[in-house]
């Protein structure tokens, strides 16, 4: 009888796990949750970036300046491009580690990596994390992500990018709650179109 109870309990548990795992967000739900301003804001700049991407390096300071100029949030998502950029995923995991202290510190690390992008490689990436940590009085553990939680966050961002069919970095959007019929616009050329796109969304 005890064995039968154990079998039934195990079967029920597995069924529950399968049911929970079988409820992924729909593509539309996920896109809507990404391409909108954070709570408390009417507008925001949303970027999907790869820390090894030269275009992302050039675009990052433009986005930060626009965020300050218009006083709207800048929301940064990870979209490492895979084998073509061998250290970008691990750099994003390191940024997530510094996020655990504060989001601002994590973004400072992202900018630090962009600033040193030409010198960073797979072999010395860890030393850059250690130097940044030391400069901010943070001890970086030998194993930064022992349970894979931070990598899972990076991967989740990447999946969100795939859901909205990203194919390049940086991909930049201006998102707004002002016009429900057009909640976001992609900025195709941030260097020349960023401010005009923000202005257009503000007028709606």
Rounded CA gap, 204 and 182, in Å?
9
The predicted pLDDT at position 31 comes to: 67
Q: What pTM value is reported for the model?
A: 0.83
- Looking up tokens 């433009």 gives 62
Fold entry, domain 2-203: Glutaredoxin (3.40.30)
The phi-psi region of residue 185 (left if phi > 0; otherwise alpha if psi is between -120 and 50; otherwise beta) is beta
Structure tokens given for 175: 């998102």
Answer whether residue 10 shows pLDDT above 90.
Answer: no
Structure tokens given for 140: 């970086």
Residues 130-139 pLDDT 10s? 999 999 999 9
**What whole-number percentage of the chain has pLDDT above 70?**
84
């Amino acid at each position: 009888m005890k064995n039968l109870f154990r079998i039934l309990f195990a079967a029920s548990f597995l069924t529950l796990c399968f049911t929970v795992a079988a409820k992924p967000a729909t593509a539309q739900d996920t896109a809507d949750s990404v391409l909108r301003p954070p709570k408390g804001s009417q507008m925001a700049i949303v970027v999907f970036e790869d820390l090894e991407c030269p275009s992302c390096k050039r675009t990052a300071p433009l986005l930060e300046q626009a965020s300050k100029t218009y006083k709207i949030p800048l929301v940064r998502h990870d979209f490492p491009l895979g084998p073509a950029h061998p250290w970008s995923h691990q750099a994003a995991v390191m940024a997530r580690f510094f996020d655990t202290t504060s989001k601002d510190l994590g973004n400072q690390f992202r900018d630090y990596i962009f600033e040193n992008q030409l010198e960073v490689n797979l072999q010395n990436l860890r030393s850059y994390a250690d130097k940044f940590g030391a400069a901010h009085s943070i001890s970086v553990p030998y194993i930064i992500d022992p349970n894979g939680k931070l990598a899972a966050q990076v991967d989740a961002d990447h999946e969100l990018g795939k859901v909205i069919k990203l194919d390049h970095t940086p991909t930049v959007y201006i998102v707004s709650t002002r016009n429900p019929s057009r909640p976001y616009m992609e900025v195709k050329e941030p260097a020349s179109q960023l401010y005009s796109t923000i202005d257009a969304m503000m007028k709606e």
